[in-house]
Chains A and B, each alone.
Chain A
Amino acid sequence: MGDDVVDPRRERFRALYMEHRTSILGYCIRRIGPTDAADACSETFLIAWRRLEDIPDAPKTLAYLYGIAARVLSNQVRSSRRRGRLDAKLKHLGVNSGQDVSTIVVGHSGHDDVIAALHKLRPKDREIVLLHNWEDLSRETIAEMLGMTKAAIDQRLHRSYRRLAGILEKERESKASRLPGTMRSTEG
């Protein structure tokens, strides 16, 4: 009895899951790599299920789910850091405890310089840059999601792009100076 009765809560969750699972999984893969992304994605939807009543309707749904995923990932990274500190201590004692937390990666080999530069941004700035460029969220949506004004998002994006450009420029110059016989820009 009751199995064929449509549970609206369950149906809503199913629809939400079907519509946004790929986006959330993509979000997680981009930030922590494919190995742990599936767990983070599941965790995100478990929390979404528990808090289904709080989840806003479209078009705000996905941004809200990104917010949950960000917290899930943040917790994962924190525990990775704790594990990293423990690993360092164990290594000091001559014990090898396995995976190095520094292997948590975002990205792939073709754009290592850009990925490395992104890592040098402050976490919140990096998140804003990635939400805009990788998750394709509008500046208005990001502002609402993070409780900031659009002007603040504009400013942070601009500042981050300047910083990234500076880092890449420095990196390029440094590479050029290491190449034998390369013409370097004149220094007076």
Chain B
Amino acid sequence: MRTDQQMEILIRAANPVPDLSVLESNAEPVPAEARPSHAPTTQPLVGSMDPPSTRLNNPRRSPRNLLKPAIGLAAALIAFVLVTEYLGTETLLTSELVQARTDAVDTANTFVLALEAGDVSTALELVDPEAAIDWGPARQPEELRQALAWEQAFALSHTLRDCRAASETTAERAIPVSCILIQTSEVAEDIDNVLEPAVAHLTVEEGHITQATLDFTNLGEAAWNPFRRWVVAKHRDDISIMFSPGPRGWPAVTTEESLSLWESHTKAFLAYFHDVCGWPCTDIQPIPEEPTSP
């Protein structure tokens, strides 16, 4: 079998437009919608490209755009007055708050990165034992391990993109932090569904996380429901072991037996769509059952 390097040579050789200079010598006319209204339609593209004429590039002529700076100026004045007032009495508190917010973001970053690395112990060190958790199947801090095991079994992973403290200024000790996580699901990818980033909502209080919620965004629609339909079609007997509305509203069961089925069926699902059905596979028939998704 060919090596990776040999494959790269083959793929590069199959490039339909290997030489971009060919395109330069074959410039097409400027597309109508991207041409300024005063330009002749037959003008060549190279050297003539102007942005589309919109209200945005003629701010002086638009009454709406005259209003915007006025509103902005008024808002800036109000903000200036408020900040001056605030600084006069609470300067020390403000600097403390800035530091607290920075620390809260650091804590949130460390927590999410630890979970990403599968290091539950480090993550748990940052979590208050009484914390309110709603993180996949986990409802208590010690269940985060099961949440990660389920994600692994379902070929789902996250990559931290960014954590930010809530923008409003507050003197509260509890600081809300939101983290954007890029989700990668082999199941969603195999059926060409686009997974949106997940959002983790955390509350950090004096260096400890007192609340953590993971919002999977469209995981249910993009990966969960198609997988569930496939399990219903191919392994109906396992449904009751793997899925349950459960006492806490999470529809995946995370017992040892269930996780083992999640893992083997996810692999079988991927193999099915890779090797049996082929791309594009349209073999998932909608099953009219109650939608149960995260």
Chain A residues engaging chain B, CB cutoff 8 angstroms: 2, 7, 9-10, 13-14, 17-18, 21-23, 25-26, 29-30, 38-39, 42, 45-46, 49-50, 74, 106-108, 110-111, 114-115, 118-125, 129-130, 132-134, 147-149, 152, 157-158, 161-162, 164-166, 168-169
B7 touches A165 (CB 8 A): yes
Contact of B67 with A by CB under 8 A: no
Q: Which residues of chain B have C-beta atoms less than 8 A from A106's C-beta? A: 16
B12 touches A134 (CB 8 A): yes
Q: Which residues of chain A have C-beta atoms less than 8 A from B118's C-beta? A: none
- Given the interface pairs A45-B34, A46-B33, A158-B4, the reply to whether A152 lies near B184 with Cβ below 8 Å is yes
A18 touches B49 (CB 8 A): yes
Per the CB 8 Å criterion, the residue count for chain B at the interface is: 44
A49 touches B16 (CB 8 A): no
State in angstroms the CA–CA spacing of A58 and B205 once bound together. 40
Residue in A29, A114, A148, A158 whose CB lies within 8 Å of B14: A114
B279 touches A119 (CB 8 A): yes
B20 touches A22 (CB 8 A): yes
State in angstroms the CA–CA spacing of A122 and B192 once bound together. 8
A148 touches B184 (CB 8 A): yes
State in angstroms the CA–CA spacing of A46 and B34 once bound together. 6
Q: Which residues of chain A have C-beta atoms less than 8 A from B33's C-beta? A: 42, 46
- 16 CB contacts below 8 A, A to B, read A13-B51, A14-B49, A21-B45, A26-B17, A26-B20, A29-B17, A42-B34, A49-B52, A106-B16, A108-B16, A120-B278, A122-B192, A134-B11, A152-B159, A161-B4, A165-B1
Q: Which residues of chain A have C-beta atoms less than 8 A from B46's C-beta? A: 18
Contact of B276 with A by CB under 8 A: no
Q: Which residues of chain B have C-beta atoms less than 8 A from A108's C-beta? A: 16
Contact of B129 with A by CB under 8 A: no
Residues of chain B from 1 to 33 with CB closer than 8 A to chain A in the complex: 1-2, 4, 6-8, 10-17, 20-21, 23-24, 28, 31, 33
A42 touches B31 (CB 8 A): yes
